[in-house]
Amino acid sequence: MIEFHLDTRSGVSPYRQIVDQVRRALRLGLLNEGDQLPTIKEVVGQLAINPNTVLKAYKELEHTGLVAPRPGVGTFVTATLRDGSLAAHGPLRRELVRWLAKARRAGLDEESIEALFRDAFRAGAEQDIA
């Protein structure tokens, strides 16, 4: 079972935050097929948010085929987002940490690093499309 948390200052709507947290848990293998999501009552009892917000998030996850409700029981995970790449995460992460250290030595602050990353990410995506 996972537990949701809410960042009310992020500007991201609570419903979107719940969807994202489930997707992240699926990607990281914290949630697997057959696992149960917290019931709506449990979520609202913990976060003090409107039940419709949770319902909307679960409906969207259902539409994307990641979860399915079992009437009277709860909502269960029916698919995974792990794509076999999990093993590669460690080495990639180490490489990235090394790269970040290099960028800092070159005098880049966090904002420049983020901007550079976004820029490269976008350029890469455009190349893929072309």
Partner 1 sequence: MSAVLQADGLGKRYRRRWALTDCTLRIPSGRVVGLVGPNGAGKSTLLNLAVGLLTPTRGRIDVLDAPPALGPAELARVGFMAQETPTYSGLSVADHLRMGARLNPGWDRKLAEDRIAQLGLDPAQRAGKLSAGQRAQLALTVAVAKRPELLILDEPVASLDPLARRQFLQGLMEVVAEQGVTVVLSSHLIADLERVCDHLIVLIASRVRLAGDVDQLLATHHLLTGPRRDPERLQAGQQVVSASHTDRQSTLLVRTDEPILDPAWTVEPVGLEDLVLAYMSPEPTGRGGLTGVPR
| Residues found near partner 1 in the complex (CB under 8 A) | 6, 8, 11, 14, 40-41, 44-53
Cβ-based nearer residue to partner 1, 50 or 112: 50
Q: How far is CA 85 from CA 6, 33, 91, 129, in A?
A: 28, 17, 11, 22
State the nearest-atom distance from the C-beta of 49 to partner 1, in Å. Answer: 5
Buried b (16+ CB within 10 A) or exposed e, 98-124: eeeeebeeeeeeeeeeeeeeeeeeeee
Cβ-based nearer residue to partner 1, 51 or 124: 51
State the nearest-atom distance from the C-beta of 41 to partner 1, in Å. Answer: 4
State the nearest-atom distance from the C-beta of 44 to partner 1, in Å. Answer: 4
